[in-house]
Amino acid sequence: MKHAGQDTKTKQNALLETLKKDSLDAVILHDATSICWLLNVRAFDVPFAPCITAYLIAYSSGKIKLFTSSLAGPSVESYLKNNNVTLAGLDSFEKSLMELKNKKVLLSELAPFFLAERLKNYVLGKDPCLLPKAIKNKIELQGALKAGAKDSKALMNFFNWLDKALKGKKLTELDIVDKLIQFRKEQKNFISPSFPNIVGFNDNAAIIHYQPKESSNKKITGNGILLIDSGGHYLEGTTDITRTIAIGKPTAEQIHNFTLVLKGHISLITSIFPEGACGAHLDTLAHIALWKEGKDYDHGTGHGVGSVLEVHEGPQSISRNGTYPLMEGMIVSVEPGFYKPKHYGIRIENLAYIKKSKFPGYLTFEALTYVPIDAKLVDHKMLTRDETDWLLNYNRKCSEIHKA
């Protein structure tokens, strides 16, 4: 509750209102992040996402049944009991499901097929927890800012170390993966990485979802660029950041393409947009500098981020398919990139939250991530005055956070 900002009873009451409004007998939740969000519980069933594996049925009577084999400990059990939740094993889910056979039940469009198969009278709709989970409350946003600052510090400490370490013995991509975890562990309330870290040098980074393995593990040596995409869960929030840095001397082409990606990043993160605008409307901003040169990248520009749940969370997304309105309080990543197959990859990723702009009815972003952008990869001649100002301000704020 300290970190959730809203108790489970309040969340349950809002869910109950939805059931009443649509005259539903029950709703079945299958998404672990929705269940954990609703009950304000976290667990360690799944690597990289502090969630439980469970099903949940919320009845219009106000009763809630949680089916899981993973929650343990009398304190959790009594917490749930005090909050109206009956605990049952996963094996008894089927029986409760059959009892709902002729009832009017809300099922998420993304629910597994077997649920719909068992029920006759189901209504397909959005998971009712999806939107309230995505719109962070004040405490969750404060937590995200705290987690962002700690994570940024961890990364700046890491990059300082890396700078020196590269002058000594040869490091590999996997050495860096280990070090990233070590530096995050130094920060208070660190829980775990929020996804398998991506560390790719030169051609490895050209593979968008590359993760180093023993068989692919490259030594960081000679000239090139190094892409590091990593993140963590802290008690207060979840982080995700990508930095691309020059090792040795970058080529003019690498500097040029990095600057195009940077222009896209700045254009999106500084944008002001009307309420109701969707990710798809803004996606172009991150691409336009690349498109002008017949270049592009083949991944989404931004995803929602859970609060100590999953690092990828809907319903919002900044991509061609992002048709959900971006709303105040949502957290998104801003991560344009560029990949030259078999040569190198570039990505610049910050998290940001959506807030009111100075114009009524218009929204904007505020960064949660503060780790300097590598000046060795920036061609200042390609930047406008505003872009240069943004970069200076941004890097200044990074050093303030590092010193704090």
> Smallest distance, Å, CB 288 to Mn ion?
21
What residue ranges bind Mn ion (CB under 5 A)? 240, 333
Helices 173-185, 138-165: crossing angle, 10 deg rounding: 130
Which two structure tokens, joined as six digits, stand for 109? 């469009």
Q: Which residues contact 227 (CB under 8 A, 6 or more apart)?
A: 198, 199, 200, 201, 205, 242, 243, 244, 344, 345, 346, 347
Which C-beta is closer to Mn ion: that of 240 or that of 283?
A: 240
Which two structure tokens, joined as six digits, stand for 241? 């950041």
Which C-beta is closer to Mn ion: that of 240 or that of 374?
A: 240
Which C-beta is closer to Mn ion: that of 119 or that of 352?
A: 352
> Smallest distance, Å, CB 101 to Mn ion?
41
Which C-beta is closer to Mn ion: that of 28 or that of 198?
A: 198
Which two structure tokens, joined as six digits, stand for 337? 């990139």
Task: Please tell me the distance from the alpha carbon of residue 205 to that of residue 12, in angstroms, as a whole number.
Answer: 44
Tell me whether residue 164 is exposed, middle or buried, using C-beta atoms within 10 angstroms of its C-beta: 0 to 12, 13 to 18, 19 or more.
exposed
> Smallest distance, Å, CB 152 to Mn ion?
15
> Smallest distance, Å, CB 303 to Mn ion?
6
Which C-beta is closer to Mn ion: that of 195 or that of 390?
A: 195
Which two structure tokens, joined as six digits, stand for 365? 């972003």
Task: Please tell me the distance from the alpha carbon of residue 214 to that of residue 229, in angstroms, as a whole number.
Answer: 18
Q: Name the residue type at position 155.
A: L
Q: Which residues contact 360 (CB under 8 A, 6 or more apart)?
A: none
Which C-beta is closer to Mn ion: that of 12 or that of 316?
A: 316
